[in-house]
Amino acid sequence: MLMIPGPTPVPEQVLLAMAKHPMGHRSGEFSALMAEVTEKLKWLHQTQNDVLILAASGTGAMEAGIINFLRRGDRVLVGNNGKFGERWGKLARTYGLAVQEITAEWGQPLHPEDFKAALEADIDKQIKAVIVTHSETSTGVLNDLETINRHVKAHGDALIIVDAVTSLGACSVPVDEWGLDVVASGSQKGYMIPPGLAFVSVSEKAWSAYATADLPRFYLDLGPYRKDGAKHTTPFTPPVNLFFALQAALTMMQAEGLGAIFERHDRQRRATRAAITALNLPLFGGDAWASPAITAVMPDQVDAEQVRSVMKKRFDIALAGGQDHLKGKIFRIGHLGFVCDRDILTAIAALEATLQHLGYGPYTPGAGVSAAGQILLA
């Protein structure tokens, strides 16, 4: 049972769809499939922009988001309050961009005011892009993309490039309404399919920047993906079976509805947090900026790695650990994608048994399940 923020659980319908024999990717059949999934992706992104499909992990979409729209030496603002924000900085520096980081402590959200100040100070419009990780998976923090983006729009020139890898399909990312220029995501997160596909949505404004961008690119050059995409085909051999999976998963998502999907993630986030609090375990990060995809816990009277180990060995439930300086200090419960309310109750009940087994004292057995149940059934 995967309760990590990717790879996430995959529904049986999706697994069965993948078990088909692959089809030729230059066939009419594949073009029909490509047309269908592209329309459905636009629905998920709430956009009329191009949404392009890459055979890559999420980082491939991040890299495509940089190299297609910027020029060597361009100044970019990068929000960094965790492992993935840090990765964006590394990636941008690799391509010779002049990176100015806007940082916040891990577990804290980025402060929109910091972006406002940096953007207002940029009178000669040297900042070409602002890069924000919406849901910072390493800490369970949901950054205030809407407000940060408002400051980017006030600046006028800079592109807004968004890592929506663990927010897309978990909470609303209204690409057109907010005017998000580039949005990156990956299949093993909110999409309910295995790793291997990455997605990038691209606005008209970003395509204008593409025309003058000069960073080296070949496999991840989005131009050919757009041109071939218009004819419902791909520049290179796509992972055809993952497209079957994508079709099945997006069909399930449409049947559930965007509003219901976001409500479910919000409910499970609240239930998980209420249960953790009821067990007297300290949450890592406040309720006001809690990610709908993942809850980080920083236990002080029980060892985080022991909790993960017992959960895995005795209950076959995989929880995520901490990264870098948080290694061994936090554990993270994923509730992203194909997760039902029963999964949350199961994980919390198993956690209670684990705590008891490890001799953790300060809680009342049943308190976590009770707190989660009250929210799930409210």
Ligand X SMILES: *Cc1c(COP(=O)(O)O)cnc(C)c1O
Binding site for ligand X (CB under 6 A): 5-6, 57-59, 84, 133, 137, 163, 165-166, 186, 189
User: Shortest approach of ligand X to residue 81 CB, angstroms?
Assistant: 11
Q: Which is nearer to ligand X, 8 or 354 (CB)?
A: 8
DSSP structure string for 82-114: SHHHHHHHHHHHHTT-EEEEEE--TTS---HHH
User: Shortest approach of ligand X to residue 328 CB, angstroms?
Assistant: 20
Q: Which is nearer to ligand X, 82 or 112 (CB)?
A: 82
User: Shortest approach of ligand X to residue 99 CB, angstroms?
Assistant: 17
151 within 8 A of 179, measured Cβ to Cβ: no
Q: Which is nearer to ligand X, 58 or 239 (CB)?
A: 58
User: Shortest approach of ligand X to residue 165 CB, angstroms?
Assistant: 4
Q: Which is nearer to ligand X, 6 or 238 (CB)?
A: 6
DSSP structure string for 18-54: HTSPP--TTSHHHHHHHHHHHHHHHHHHT-SSEEEEE
Q: Which is nearer to ligand X, 110 or 376 (CB)?
A: 110
Q: How far apart are CA 104 and CA 111, in angstroms?
A: 7
Strands (E), the chain: 2-3, 50-55, 75-80, 98-103, 127-133, 135-136, 141-142, 159-163, 182-186, 197-202, 294-297, 318-321, 331-334
191 within 8 A of 169, measured Cβ to Cβ: yes
**Nearest 5°: CA angle at 142, between 136 and 144?**
120
Q: Hey, is 12 helix, strand or coil?
A: helix
Question: Residue with the closest Cβ to ligand X?
Answer: 58
The pair of three-digit structure tokens given for residue 369, joined into one six-digit string: 């399940």
User: Shortest approach of ligand X to residue 68 CB, angstroms?
Assistant: 17
User: Shortest approach of ligand X to residue 307 CB, angstroms?
Assistant: 21
Q: Which is nearer to ligand X, 294 or 350 (CB)?
A: 294
